[in-house]
Amino acid sequence: MNVFVGLRLIGLAGSIQGPIPENTCGTGWHLLICFGFLISAGSFARSAHWQPPESKLSSVSRADLCITEGAISEFPDHRLLVTAVKMRAYVNVVTGQRVEARFKYLGSTAEEVPLGSGEIRRQFGLKLRAEDACNLVYAMWRIEPESKLVVSVKSNPGQHSSAECGNRGYQNIKPRSSKPVPRLVAGQMHTLRAEINSEQMRVFADDTPVWEGSLGAQTRALEGPVGIRSDNARLEIALRAELPPGQSVRPGCRTGQEVE
C-alpha cells in the first residue's frame, strides 16, 4: 500500500456521514481508514528523509595501480600485500574522490626508515586529488609513535616532482569535528574511508566518522586520482574506489620517489 492508496482511504473517511467516534480504530471501516492514515504518514516521512544512494565502490587490483615507490604484491582475490619500508601508489585511471581500504595491520617492517623530515613514523593512509608528488591530499592513520588520524594538504603550485618540492608544502588541516581512532594492533582488521565533495572532506574509521572539515578553496583546483601510502608498516589491503565503467586505457605511470 502506498501514499495514493492512503489518500484514497483518507478521502473515504471524509465521505462517511457523521462524526467518527473516539476509540473506534479497532473495527470495520474505521480500522481501514486509520491504517490508511498511518501508511500515508509513514510514506511521506520516508520521502522527507530519502537520500540518493552513494556511488558504488569497485575493487582495485594491483594492475590498476601505479606504484611510485616500494613494492606491492597481490593475493588471488586481489588483496594487496605491502611489506616494503615505504610504499606509494595511485590508481592509474581517473577516479572519483571516494576511496576505502579494508586492511589488516601486520606489524612493523624489519627495517625502519625515517621520513624526509627525519622523524620515524609508522602509518598507513589514503591519497586523494593526487595531482602529482607535490600537490595532493592525505588522510593518514598514524600508528606510532602516536595513534591519531591526520588530514594534510601538500601544496606546491608550479612544482610537480619530489626533486622540485621535497618535503615542503605540507599543512595539517584542523577539523571542524573529530574523534579518536582505535589504536592499531597487529592482526586486527580495520577500515579507513575518505571522501571529498568540493572542498569538504570526511574520513571514517571502521564506519565511524573521525574527521570532518574544510580543506580550503585552494584544493578545488587539484585534479588527480586516489591512492595509498604506507611508512614502516606491513599490511594486507582490500582497496576500493570509484572507478569509471569500461575504462581500459590507462595513462602512463608517473614514477619517481615521493618525499615525506
For the chain, domain boundaries: 3-48, 58-241
Query: Chain-wide mean pLDDT for the chain?
Result: 82
Grid coordinates in use for 229? 601510502
Mean pLDDT on 21-43: 42
- Count of all residues that appear for the chain in the document: 260
Fold of 58-241: Jelly Rolls (2.60.120)
- Dist. CA 53–CA 47, nearest whole Å: 14
Percent of the chain with pLDDT over 70: 73
Comparing 25-29, 35-39, 235-239, the range with the smallest average pLDDT is 35-39
- At 242 the pLDDT is 93
Mean pLDDT on 215-239: 95
- Dist. CA 113–CA 102, nearest whole Å: 25
pLDDT at residue 182 tops 90: yes
pLDDT at residue 198 tops 70: yes
Residue 184, Ramachandran bin (φ over 0: left; ψ between -120 and 50: alpha; else beta): beta
Name the pLDDT band for 98 (thresholds 50, 70, 90): very high
Cis before 225? omega within 30: no
Helices 3-15 and 28-48: crossing angle, nearest 10°? Answer: 140
In terms of pLDDT, which residue wins out, 247 or 14?
247
pLDDT at residue 111 tops 90: yes
Q: pLDDT digits over 43-95, tens only?
A: 333 333 323 345 689 999 999 999 999 999 999 999 999 999 999 999 999 89
| Sign of the alpha-carbon torsion through 129, 135, 137, 138 | positive
- At 247 the pLDDT is 63
Q: pLDDT digits over 114-161, tens only?
A: 887 888 999 999 999 999 999 999 999 999 999 999 999 999 999 998
What is the reported pTM? Answer: 0.76
CB 211 within 8 A of CB 203: yes
Note the helical H segments in the chain: 3-15, 28-48, 162-165
pLDDT at residue 4 tops 70: no
